[in-house]
């Protein structure tokens, strides 16, 4: 069966192929409860992520209270982007929506680490599972700290076995 929408689950909407590759790596963690997470098709641009989320997914967030959502975007070193995106999220679902991404873009992170994007996703998944900062402390990822902490406390009980 697909993700059970009546049980706690999380949907991930990646901005582009690179972010999707990181999400694919995240899925490969052996302790991940794979049926509680679904990576959606990437949409091509952070603005499209926001548009698609607000038009297509906010109604389903309201319908299914066990649904969490990750908007996986590039921040392109734009300091205001997180604030802008969060402003588009209605208050009644805000606590179940998380905005994460690389400070610049995944390609720069890949070059910096010399690892494949899937391997980066796997490492981030392992850090979430182990409650370690690890790769999340990287210069290009550190800014996610507040959102990450909020997300982990929301999804950890069901996302990892």
Partner 1 sequence: MLQRLYVHNFRCLENFEFSLREMSSALLIGRNGAGKSTIASSLELFQSIGRGVNRVRQLVQPKDFSPNRSNVPIRFEIEVLIKNKLYKYMLALELPEDFRELRVFEEQLLVSGKSVYSRKEAQVTLTSRNPEAQFLMDWHLIALPVIQEQSETDPLCIFRTWLARMIILAPIPSLITGDSQGETLEPKRDGSNFGEWFSGLLSRYPAAYTEIKKYLQVVMPDISDIQNQSVSRNFKSTIVSFEKNDRNFTIEFKDLSDGEKCFFLCAVVLAANKHYGPLFCFWDEPDNYLSLSEVGHFIVSLRRSFKNSGQLLATSHNQEAIRKFSSENTFLLDRKSHLEPTLIRSLSEVSISGDLIDSLILGDTEL
Q: How far is the CB of 2 from partner 1 (least distance, A)?
A: 3
Q: How far is the CB of 1 from partner 1 (least distance, A)?
A: 6
When the beta carbons of 39 and 61 are compared against partner 1, the nearer one is 39
CB 10 within 8 A of CB 159: yes
When the beta carbons of 88 and 112 are compared against partner 1, the nearer one is 112
Going 124 to 47 to 104 to 115, the CA torsion angle's sign is: positive
When the beta carbons of 37 and 82 are compared against partner 1, the nearer one is 37
Residues that bind partner 1 (CB under 8 A): 1-2, 17, 20-21, 24-25, 27-30, 32, 34-35, 38-39, 41-42, 44, 116-118
Could you give the CA distance from residue 14 to residue 5 in angstroms, rounded to a whole number? 20
Q: How far is the CB of 21 from partner 1 (least distance, A)?
A: 4
Going 87 to 107 to 56 to 136, the CA torsion angle's sign is: negative
Tokens 């909407």 -> residue: 13
Q: How far is the CB of 95 from partner 1 (least distance, A)?
A: 27
When the beta carbons of 29 and 138 are compared against partner 1, the nearer one is 29
Per-residue CA distances from 69 to 134, 140, 148 (Å): 23, 22, 12
Q: How far is the CB of 94 from partner 1 (least distance, A)?
A: 27
Tokens 């606590």 -> residue: 95
Calculate helix-pair angle for 145-159, 117-130, nearest 10 degrees: 70
When the beta carbons of 42 and 160 are compared against partner 1, the nearer one is 42
Calculate helix-pair angle for 117-130, 106-113, nearest 10 degrees: 90
């Amino acid at each position: 069966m697909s993700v059970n929408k009546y049980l706690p689950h999380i949907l991930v909407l990646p901005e582009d192929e690179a972010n999707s590759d990181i999400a694919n790596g995240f899925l490969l963690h052996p302790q991940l409860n794979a049926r509680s997470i679904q990576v959606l098709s990437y949409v091509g641009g952070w603005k499209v992520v926001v548009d698609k989320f607000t038009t297509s997914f906010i109604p389903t967030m309201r319908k299914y209270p066990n649904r969490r959502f990750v908007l996986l975007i590039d921040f392109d070193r734009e300091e205001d982007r997180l604030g802008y995106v969060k402003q588009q999220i209605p208050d009644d679902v805000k606590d179940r929506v998380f905005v994460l991404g690389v400070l610049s873009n995944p390609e720069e992170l890949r070059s910096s680490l010399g690892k494949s994007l899937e391997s980066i996703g796997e490492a981030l998944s392992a850090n979430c599972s182990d409650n370690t900062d690890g790769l999340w402390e990287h210069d290009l990822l550190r800014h996610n700290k507040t959102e990450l902490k909020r997300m982990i406390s929301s999804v950890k009980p069901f996302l990892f076995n």
